[in-house]
Amino acid sequence: MATVWTDSIRDDIPRIEEFILETIHSENSELDEMCRYVVESGGKRVRPIVCLLSHLALGGQDRERAIHIGSAFEIVHSATLIHDDINDGGELRRGRRTLHREYTLTKAIVAGDFMLTRGYKALGNLPEEAMQVIANAASAMSEGEFTQQDFERVATVTEADYFKIINGKTAVLINAAAMAGAFLVTKDHDKLSVIDQYSSKIGLAFQIIDDMLDITGSKKTGKRVGIDMTEGKPTLPVIYAMQDPKHGDEIRSLFTDRDITPEEVERSLELIKETDALARCQRKAEELADEAVSIIRALPESPYRESLEGLALYIVRRDM
């Protein structure tokens, strides 16, 4: 195993950053500045990385094209974050003011559309099958967002509802990025299926950890905790905590409260931490990562396959 899981693509990672900046460049200096503001805020570049590694692990040779396509997914993802932050009334993202707070709401909507468009264009002419995966992903993203909104502050939300939401919110785009990288190499159903299953599982694990970080906080990102609770977002820690015999009733009542105060949010986080919800979430995420690792081992051994294994483990151990 490589000492650092990104070793096999060390020289490619700067190209991802370069290509993202090239792709979002606008002649309008303010629009350009806004887009840079968003993409330079330190994302983990999971989508380009998984696209590139999937491509290489299947024996693909076209690093440049895989970088371009993976980066295009990252731009699409960043665009959706702009609109999500508007929808959530979010003030901070990764320790900095959200775009619509730093600039204006109206310009942020336009900038989001601009990045969405540039991202889709940068995907270029992909194989028909890849286009289908992307079209399905786009539908699942919007539909997942609708489901999430429908379950805001609804105490009857189930684990199954949650997985439907995070599938659309996170997993499908990570999956589509991986599959796009794979379709450049092969049409073999078995190989594609390995990438398909692997990437879906790490996508789900990724979002579970993200939702845990909203409770436990992260030293690195500066993201405030309790945002999901403030907004009544149904997350797995909350769903599990509402099942707790001791604190479940109180957490349910806080979760469904439209007028929850900052003190009550704080209280709810304390209560959640006293239940086994976070431990159950961590276990769930690790199970998914372990499954992803054992699935990806069906591919021939290579530094890229090792990196994909490392990526799955990194995702569930990260603290940002």
What are the residues binding a copy of itself (CB under 8 A)?
26-28, 30-31, 79-80, 83, 86-87, 104-107, 109-114, 116-118, 120-121, 124-125, 128, 131, 134-135, 138-139, 141-143, 145-147, 149
**Closest separation in Å from C-beta 162 to a copy of itself:** 17
The count of C-alpha atoms lying within 13 angstroms of the C-alpha of 175, restricted to the half-sphere facing its C-beta, is 28
**Closest separation in Å from C-beta 271 to a copy of itself:** 28
**Closest separation in Å from C-beta 165 to a copy of itself:** 12
Q: What is the DSSP string of 194-261?
A: HHHHHHHHHHHHHHHHHHHHHHH--TTT-PPS-HHHHHT---HHHHHHTT-TTTHHHHHHHHT-TT--
Nearer to a copy of itself, 42 or 124 (CB): 124
**Closest separation in Å from C-beta 183 to a copy of itself:** 14
**Closest separation in Å from C-beta 118 to a copy of itself:** 7
Give the DSSP H or E segment for 112. Answer: helix 105-122
Nearer to a copy of itself, 173 or 178 (CB): 173
Nearer to a copy of itself, 28 or 261 (CB): 28
Nearer to a copy of itself, 13 or 86 (CB): 86
**Closest separation in Å from C-beta 164 to a copy of itself:** 11
Instruction: Locate 163 and state its tokens.
Output: 């997985």
Which residue type is seen at 84?
D
Nearer to a copy of itself, 3 or 29 (CB): 29
Give the C-alpha separation, 57 to 175, whole Å: 15
**Closest separation in Å from C-beta 59 to a copy of itself:** 25
- CA-CA-CA-CA torsion sign (293, 294, 295, 301): positive
Answer for the pair 180, 73: CB distance below 8 angstroms, yes or no.
yes
Nearer to a copy of itself, 145 or 274 (CB): 145
Instruction: Locate 216 and state its tokens.
Output: 């436990």
DSSP state at residue 7: G
DSSP state at residue 299: S
Cβ neighbors of 153 (< 8 A, separation 6 or more) are: 232, 255, 256, 257, 258
Give the C-alpha separation, 158 to 236, whole Å: 9
Cβ neighbors of 19 (< 8 A, separation 6 or more) are: 67, 68, 71
Longest CA pairwise span in the chain (Å):
58
Nearer to a copy of itself, 61 or 117 (CB): 117
**Closest separation in Å from C-beta 73 to a copy of itself:** 12
Nearer to a copy of itself, 31 or 281 (CB): 31
